Amino acid sequence: MVKNKLAIIGGSGLYDVEKFNDRELLNIETPWGKPSDQILKTKYNNKEVFFLPRHGRGHFISPSKINFRANIDALKQLGVTDIVSVSAVGSLKEDLPPGKFVIVDQFIDRTFARIKTFFDNEIVAHVSMAHPTSNGLMNACEEAIKKSNIDCQRNGTYVVMEGPQFSTLAESNLYRTWKADVIGMTNMPEAKLAREAEIRYASVSMVTDFDCWHPDHENVDVQQVVKVLLGNAEKAKVMIKNLIDNFEDHIDPNDPTNNCLDVAIITAPEKRTQKTIDKLKTIAGRALNK
């Protein structure tokens, strides 16, 4: 029986969970290079959990330079079955003010400078991204957020832009016509790679600003964002504790993520070289070795 393990990928402002005293920092090597930083292995209420700072501790990795493949492979090596992404975003709607959390269920991927798949050489796979987040994990996030008394919205569409610059006014207004809820720079290709790795994924977006579309608010700048970030990060740490306690209660054994590669790999077995099979052993070993 698979042991369920939770990992938190922390975004801007959330680089560590310092109050967890049982700490071990792990250096993980992957076929795709090194992850963003050492992975924190820790425990809370006797439950093991992993924490990976997406931008590195101290925020030194630009969104376009994040080694998303190494991050996901490293977590998979550690036996992680569930990832909750916690990231800072701008709001595209009046009723999503700074400080509010959004449990994202859809993405619009506008990135263009990132490698978005593990299956880019010899072995081809096409996973479904129709529903990119796992419903059971979203339920766990919602329960954890409500228990933390954090204002939140269940469901929302996240526009993922390339960055690192913020939007132009024309772009911001365009995304609003798409009925998107929030905008950020980091959940793609992270969500796609988690799906390819058969890791259940959920995204909690913490609103820091109104992007640049709102006529009654100043254009977004880093100082403004950081001020809200710090408050959001403290709220997120409370949410994470609740999430560690409850996530296993919401796991869906029939989640399509669990075995999505069974119907995704299209390359004929005789065309799969051992070199590529070995490179994909962590990500796709279960499916390739059947």
Q: Which residues are annotated as a binding site for substrate?
A: 185, 209-211
**Residue 96 · residue 206 · CB < 8 Å:** no
Q: How far is CA 163 from CA 24, 114, 168, 183, in A?
A: 33, 11, 11, 11
**β-sheet bridge partners, residue 202:** 84
211 is a catalytic site residue? yes
Q: Which of 37, 109, 181, 211 is catalytic?
A: 211
Q: Which of 82, 109, 181, 209 is catalytic?
A: 209
Residues 6+ apart with CB under 8 A from 110: 159, 160, 161, 162
Phi first, then psi, for residue 27 (nearest 5°) are -100, 115
Helices marked H in the chain: 68-77, 135-147, 169-177, 190-196, 222-246, 274-279, 281-288
Known binding residues for phosphate: 12, 54-55, 87-88, 186
How far apart, in whole angstroms, are the C-alpha atoms of residue 38 and residue 48? 16
**Residue 165 · residue 115 · CB < 8 Å:** no
Q: How far does CA 189 lie from the centroid of its chain? A: 9
Residues 6+ apart with CB under 8 A from 180: 92, 108, 157, 158, 159
209 is a catalytic site residue? yes
How far apart, in whole angstroms, are the C-alpha atoms of residue 164 and residue 185? 8
Residue 126, number of CB atoms within 10 A of its CB: 12
Known binding residues: 12, 54-55, 87-88, 185-186, 209-211
Positions marked catalytic: 209, 211
